[in-house]
Structure 1
Amino acid sequence: MPPKPTKRRSSDDSAPAPASASAASKKKSRPNSSAPQSGPASASAGVKTAADKKKSIVAPRDEKKAALQRQDDEESDGDEGEGWSDLEAEADEAFEDYEDVDEDGEDGMDVDGEDADKTPAQVAKEARDPAAQRESREKQKELKLLRKAKDPVYPLVQALKKSWEKLRRSDLPAVDRTKLMAEMMSAVTGNVADLIFKHDASRIVQCMVKYGNEKQRLLIANELKGKFVELSRSMYGRFITLRFLKYTTAARPSILAEFRGHVSKNIKHMITSYVLESIYADYCNAKERYHMIQELYHPRFRQFKTDEPLSQLVADGKVDKKQVLYNLKQVIDPVIAKGILGDLTLVQRAVLDYLDLASDEEKTALFEALHPELVAFLHTREGAQIAVRALAHATAKDRKTIVKTFKDYVMKIANEEYGHWVLLEWLATVDDTKLTATSVVKEFDMNQIPESKYFRKVLLFVLVGASSRHFAPVVLDQLIPAGKKDAWKRHCEVLDYASGAIVDATRESLVEWLKDADLGTFVVEVVMRAHLDDAARADIIKNVLVPAIAAGERDATLLRNVKSMVQYHEHWAKNQAKAKVKEGMTEDGHKELSERTRATSALVAKTFVEAAGKELLQALATSEGTFVSLALAEGEATKEAVVPMLREVVDEIEQGESKGAALLAKVVKETKV
């Protein structure tokens, strides 16, 4: 860790008696800025010198660093080699101009020594003098070089920097890079351990790991053997560990082995936790991941692993349930407090394990801490599962708190592979449909329908509910119905709020979307299931769909989706007969939905026949629209009108080469109307 600037005591602070006469005289000669001054000094009494400004900035920075360092030291049981936190790094960046202050407070504006007899006005005047500022900077540079020169590896670092500037260039020829790497390897061999904890030197080693060959990488890795855990606790050194994991397959097993037994201690560390997360997410299989998580259950699993699931271990009495809950809580609480739970799927998995074992009171306490943070981690699979459980367990008051955190992120959540599960759970659970309408549905951006398949899934849930026709079992299994209101009634109320906006967005691009397999399926559900009056639904068919087909649209996907519309109830009824979860949600709801889909299918089919007319129907039957004509000829609501029209061209239908022509001709001949 680089040396920190020494915070000087202000002139007002009380201090212990000086240790020597010289120190006493030095303190006595310092002017008191709080005392009233006469003449020019009085006018300048309120002017802050550069030293005063520096003290006001550096001191809080040091206090923050000290607090964070103490916190990490306590959590790591006194381990050495810790790195700075992210907050420390930001402080270093923001105040890098102040890093070169020497131990005596040297900043070119001394209040002791030659400046001791100067008034604040004189000091302030010199601070504004460009020449004095230049002289101060030069003096600082000299002192900085003198301090660095005391480091034994300083000359080596300076020499390596020149080579590094060439090595890191992307346009460096391969031959030159190979030669340069050989030279740098000969220089760093035996000194790698002295370089890795320095900011600038660690970047050099990272670059060498990136561009070196397998043999060179292994040589560097061997010098660092046994130090990767310590290295990963360093703000600068952790990147070398990540580089080795990425580029050196041969060294990866030994690096992973070094972290075995150190997971529970280091997962709470602001820096090492990200290295452990990378190992867990990118370089472990399912079995190895479970072995890492086991270390959080009980200390015995740091050395002795098992493949039995946690539930079985608890049931068999191999681990104490209370002890496991306590150990998991000791990891979860600090991670939540530091605000890094969203970045650590390993700890998210631990949260799920905790929830599996915890009592209702323990779950409530944990969820209260998580409610403000849900939006930060629901983008991962484990995070989404936690958020779903939080919504199911929450009270009405808690849900209002949660939805406030969602307000500006509804569309971001809806567009995520796992995040949209949380919105599905909201729609399936929250009884306050007005809250759903104003806080969730109102935030939907319908312009994103064509681009986002996950947003379409959310809208499909609004339209059809938990349907096995549109949602995989793995998604439906995540949902936890927890509402008290009648599920069908809740679904209908939400659909009432959302239908208008969904239909308006769909109508504008209906024909184009019907040509796409995924979008076409969505359009079919909008036309058939949105809450519309008969006139509005018929208008879509009569004034949007049929005119496009009459104008020459014969896309195969479009015609297939038109067939799905006119046969909607028939296909839907077959699916529901074998579905485990009925889309009607309740017995009464299922009956109502069945009657509604039957009536809607008949309306759409009749409207299509009336708007198309004999000429268009015959043209479809003798060309690409064979299956549309077949669906109309078999439909109870339309066969009496369609079959006579098609009998006039039955010979042409039989001679047609399109698929289904023979079947259509047979149906037309055999149907009695």
Structure 2
Amino acid sequence: MAILNETDTKGSRKRKFNDASSEGNVNKKTKSVKKLSADSKKKKSKKGNAIKDFPVLSKSKDNASKKNGGEDKSSKPKKGGVDKSSKIKKGGSLKPGSKKGKEPAEKFDHAKKKEIRLARRRHKKDETIFEVGLKSKQLWEGFRPEDCSDIKRNELIDELITLIKGKVVKLCLAHDTVRVIESLFLHGSVAQRNIVFNEIMASNSVIDMTKNKYGSFIVIKMLKYGSKEQREGIARLYDGKTAKLMKHKIANAVVELYYNDHANALRRNRMLQDFCGPEFTKFKDNEIRTVMDLIKKYPEKERDIYKNLHENVCTLITKGCYNHSLVHTVIYNFLTIAKEKERSEVITQLRDASIHIMHSSDGAKASMLSIWFGNNKDRKTIIKSFKTFVLKIATEEHGHMVLMAIFDSMDDTVFVGKSIFTEIIANLGEIATDKYGKKVLSYILAPRSTVLFHPQVLDKLKVGDGNPYSKKDSEIRKNELRKEISPSLVKYLTNNVGELLSNGDTIFIATILNNALGDLTESMKHLSLAITKDNGLIENTANHQMLKKIIQADKLRNENGETALFSKILLETASMDNIDAWLRCNRGGFLLVIILETEIPQVKSLLEEKLKALKPTLSTQKSVGVECLKKKLDF
């Protein structure tokens, strides 16, 4: 009966639709469908039209409801909810938080949720490891406090080692238990550390732990607290895998730590060879120090070495792995052998990263090569990246050499003045009192001076001579830079001459007075006042050498027509008591001899005039300096 009614219902609905179409009231099929849909909605809104004769089956009731346009009162949902006993009709709304065709999730209290989370953790981990982790953390809380006695701590660590035996590696890979193992290395004895170390090494998991976010901390502790033999054991595992590990964002920090803090020269050279191709990961040559040496020894493999090294360098720069000194060494070695095309490509990649690599020796050399052999765009990009870091670069052991390379090769001195000199002048006090900062300032005033700079430093800087991108005459470039910095340095010397003398910065004082451009009168007066204020200053060897160099430079000043002569200002500032005191010491006598040797008429006559009044003192003194002075005088 139910089936017949359902069929009749379908037929009657179909006849209605056909009648409506045949009457011609609606010409288009889409309008008929819309009208039928509207009629269905009206019927659904009416109550009491559900077919009661159908069997109580959710599917039949649902179908009947759809055909007759009504709803069964028993299946009518409550206000604001959905009837759980029937399926949700197609196109109907879903209750937030519930899935289609399923009952809403039951709400659990906080304790039950916590229990579920704990069960999930147990499910993910081995049950024994989970329990061991909990117990190990309890023991850790016992021995980690600073006030824990050594005896108690030793007992707890022994208990911990017994507990974790055979499970150390798994505990090292979890975010919570890894701290327990770290503390064990920190507080444990050598014997206790060795037990854990040996288990990790026996598991052959060091490489995987090096790549793991948490396991890498344990490898770092092993390198820090392990013996020389144990560190060498880890290094042997890294042998042949260095290039791959340095490209890994976690492992590269561990390898860098070993390379910087623990590796000897031989081990470092072997690590470098890993970047030269698969063959050199297996067969190492202990006599090789650089890639250039490797090519000279194996010229038939030059092409493969060059290709592999180039690929590794590009990958390392692209991945942003340029913060490590091992990578700096690899980049520098490539730039020394690179052909023009590949070198330009690498410099273009490297120009934004130069600021990050110049704190190491090879990194600074790589940056210097980028300056020398990069085009003007590359150079300006590198210099722009120095913004706000010039003070740090100028006072770094290796970074200050990059600034010297810029002063040697950058033709746009106005750009150098705005980008670099502005920050140097703003931080002149800190730079002028720093060991490396003084070298930077001195190089601007006296570049390539054999008196101020070691031959090895000058040899490094000569590599950039004759580069294809520096067109301006070197003397013009030097004078432009000197003119830019001189006023600030002269002013600084005038205001701080006493402090510089007390700090022993005598060479720096002489460098400014002998090389700076502009009026030096005020600076010379302040230096003369400081010298005459304390007669004992000229007895100091460094001060005596400084005065000697400044006075000897007066001869050149006089030839150039300069009016500021230090020897003249010193004699005008010195009183008769000062001259008398100088005659009574050997270095003082030599100082007056140096003044006479300038052969400047006005200076010579001024000195002779003062010495005539001190003939009694002059005749009684028998020092070598005074005897030389007597020979040069006309009386």
Q: TM (normalized to structure 2)?
A: 0.76
Structure 2 counterpart of 1:670, one-letter code = K
Determine the C-alpha separation between the residues in 2 that align with 1:597 and 1:618: 30
- Preserved CA contact (<8 Å) 1:260 1:302: yes
Specify the alignment match of 2:626 in structure 1.
Answer: 665
Measured after TM superposition, the shift of residue 232 of structure 1 is 0.4
Question: What's 2:515 paired with?
Answer: 529
What is aligned with 2:456? 474
Tell me the SS of whatever aligns to 1:146. helix
Aligned to 1:320: 301
Distance 1:384 1:287 in 2: 22
Paired residues of 1:643 and 1:671 also in contact (CA < 8 A): no
Q: CA deviation at 1:460?
A: 0.5
The aligned counterpart of 1:360 is 340
Give me the whole-angstrom Cα distance separating, in 2, the residues matched to 1:281 and 1:601. 55
Q: 1:567 to 1:314 in 2, by over 3 A?
A: closer
- Residue 456 of structure 1 is aligned with which of 435, 438, 442? 438
Q: Distance in 1 between matches of 2:549 and 2:395?
A: 31
Tell me the equivalent position of 1:221: 197
The one-letter amino acid paired with 1:475 is V
Relative to structure 1, is the Cα distance of residues 596 and 145 closer, same or farther in structure 2, using a 3 angstrom cutoff? farther
Structure 1 residue 420 displacement after superposition:
0.8
Deviation (angstroms), 1:559: 7.9
Distance 2:151 2:617 in 1: 74
Structure 1 unaligned spans of 5+ = 1-38, 42-108, 119-131, 574-593
Query: Which letter does structure 2 place at the counterpart of 1:459?
Result: L
Q: Cα distance, 1:312 vs. partner? A: 3.9
Within 2, Cα distance between the matches of 1:138 and 1:322? Answer: 67
Identity %: 26
Contact (CA 8 Å) 2:554, 2:565: kept in 1 or not? no
Question: In 2, are the aligned partners of 1:568 and 1:597 still within 8 Å (CA)?
Answer: no
**d(CA) in 2 for partners of 1:371 and 1:147?**
50
1:606 aligns with 2:573: no
Q: Say whether 1:305 aligns with 2:284.
A: yes
CA contact (8 A) 2:181 2:218 kept: yes
C-alpha displacement at 1:644, in angstroms?
5.2
2:536 alignment counterpart: 554
Letter in 2 for 1:618: D
Of 198, 211, 236, 1:233 maps to 211
SS in 1 for 2:352: helix
- Report the equivalent of 1:500: 487
Higher deviation after alignment, 448-457 or 244-253: 448-457
Distance 1:260 1:188, change over 3 A: same
154-163 vs 489-498, greater mean Cα deviation: 154-163
Superposed, 1:358-507 pairs within 5 Å as 358-444=338-424, 445-479=427-461, 480-481=464-465, 482=467, 483-507=470-494
Matching residue of 1:19: none
User: Which residue identity lines up with residue 416 of structure 2 in the other structure?
Assistant: T
Asked whether the 8 Å contact 2:532–2:574 carries over to 1, the reply is yes
> Could you tell me which residue of structure 2 aligns to residue 337 of structure 1?
318
| Structure-2 separation of matches of 1:449 and 1:561 | 22
Aligned residue runs from structure 1 range 148-163, under 5 A: 148-150=121-123, 151=125, 152-163=128-139
The more displaced of 366-375 and 138-147 is: 138-147
* C-alpha distance in structure 2 between counterparts of 1:114 and 1:453, whole Å: 78
Which residue among 279, 282, 288 is the counterpart of 2:261?
Answer: 282
Counterpart amino acid of 2:245? Answer: N
Deviations 1:343-369 (A, max 9, x none): x21121111221122210110011111
2-structure distance, mates of 1:182, 1:490? 70
Cα distance in 2 between the residues matched to 1:446 and 1:458: 11
Which amino acid in 2 is paired with 1:425?
A
Match in the other structure for 1:641: 606
Assess if the C-alpha contact under 8 Å between 2:531 and 2:538 holds in 1.
Answer: no
Give the superposition deviation at 1:621: 2.7
Counterpart amino acid of residue 527 in structure 1 = L
- Please state how far the C-alpha of 1:429 moved relative to its aligned partner: 0.7
Q: Which has the higher contact order (CA 8 A, sep 6+)?
A: 1
CA contact (8 A) 2:240 2:282 kept: yes
Report if the CA contact (8 A) 1:569-1:598 is conserved.
no
What does residue 248 of structure 2 align with?
Answer: 269
Please say which structure displays the higher CA radius of gyration: 2
**CA distances 1:494-520 after superposition (whole Å, capped 9, x unpaired):** 111111111112211112212222x22
Change (3 A) 1:188 1:557: farther
Cα deviation for residue 138 of structure 1 reads 4.9
Distance 1:263 1:520, change over 3 A: same
Assess if the C-alpha contact under 8 Å between 1:514 and 1:521 holds in 2. Answer: no
Change (3 A) 1:560 1:610: farther
Q: Which one-letter code corresponds to 1:632 in the other structure?
A: I
Cα shift readout 1:466-522 (whole Å, capped 9, x = no counterpart): 2122222332222223322111111111111111111112211112212222x2221
- Paired residues for 1:571-586 under 5 Å: none
Residues 569-602 of structure 1 deviation map (CA, whole Å, 9 limit, x = unaligned)? 75899xxxxxxxxxxxxxxxxxxxx678987798
Amino acid at match of 2:476: K
> Taking structure 1 as reference, are residues 298 and 449 closer, same or farther at Cα in structure 2, changes over 3 Å only?
closer
Aligned partner of residue 407 in structure 1, secondary structure: coil
Pairing partner for 1:142 from 115, 129, 134: 115
Which sections of structure 2, spanning at least 5 residues, go unmatched?
A: 1-78, 82-95
Match for 2:514: what amino acid?
M
CA change 1:173–1:302 in 2 (3 A) is same
* CA–CA distance in structure 1, aligned partners of residues 205 and 381 of structure 2: 46
Q: Are the equivalent residues in 2 in contact too, given 1:245–1:252 (CA < 8 A)? A: yes
CA distance in 2, matches of 1:110, 1:216: 53
1:560 to 1:293, Cα distance in 2 relative to 1, 3 A: closer
Q: Is the 8 A contact 2:506 2:542 kept in 1?
A: no
Task: Give the Cα–Cα distance (whole angstroms) in 1 for the partners of residues 168 and 490 of structure 2.
Answer: 65
- TM-score normalised according to structure 1 size: 0.72
1:644-673 CA deviation, whole Å, 9 max, x = no partner? 5346546546767xxxx7012202321233
Distance 1:304 1:243 in 2: 30
Q: In the alignment, is the contact (CA less than 8 A) between 1:559 and 1:628 conserved in 2?
A: no
- Structure 2 match to 1:12: none
Change (3 A) 1:263 1:550: closer
Q: Is the 8 A contact 2:558 2:565 kept in 1?
A: no
CA distance in 2, matches of 1:268, 1:413: 27
Q: Is the 8 A contact 1:321 1:357 kept in 2?
A: no
Is the CA contact (8 Å cut-off) linking 2:552 and 2:598 kept in structure 1?
no
Q: How much has 1:144 moved relative to structure 2? A: 2.0
Closer/same/farther in 2, CA of residues 177 and 627 from structure 1, 3 Å limit: farther
Q: Structure 2: which amino acid aligns with 1:511?
A: G
Structure 2 residue identity aligned to 1:453:
K
Offset of residue 617 of structure 1: 2.0
Q: Which moved more, 1:561-570 or 1:319-328?
A: 561-570
Report the CA distance shift for 1:551/1:315 in structure 2 as closer, same or farther (over 3 A): closer
Which residue identity is paired with 1:664? G
- Post-superposition Cα deviations, 1:413-467, rounded to whole Å, max 9, x if no partner, equal 1111111111000001111111111111112121213542211111101111121
CA distance 1:193–1:615, shift in 2 (3 Å)? closer
Deviates more, 1:249-258 or 1:282-291: 249-258
Aligned residues of 2:528 and 2:569 also touching (Cα < 8 A): no
Q: Which amino acid aligns with 2:348?
A: E
Q: Distance in 1 between matches of 2:118 and 2:458?
A: 65
Per-residue CA shift, 1:605-658, capped at 9, x if unaligned? 1121122243432233335845533433444234443245346546546767xx
Once residues 600 and 186 of structure 1 are traced to their aligned partners in structure 2, the CA distance between those partners, rounded to angstroms, is: 85
- Give the RMSD, CA atoms, in angstroms: 3.1
| Residue 582 of structure 2, aligned match among 620, 626, 639 | 620
- Whether the 8 Å CA contact 1:563–1:631 is kept in 2: the answer is no
2:17 match: none
The letter of the residue matching 1:296 is F
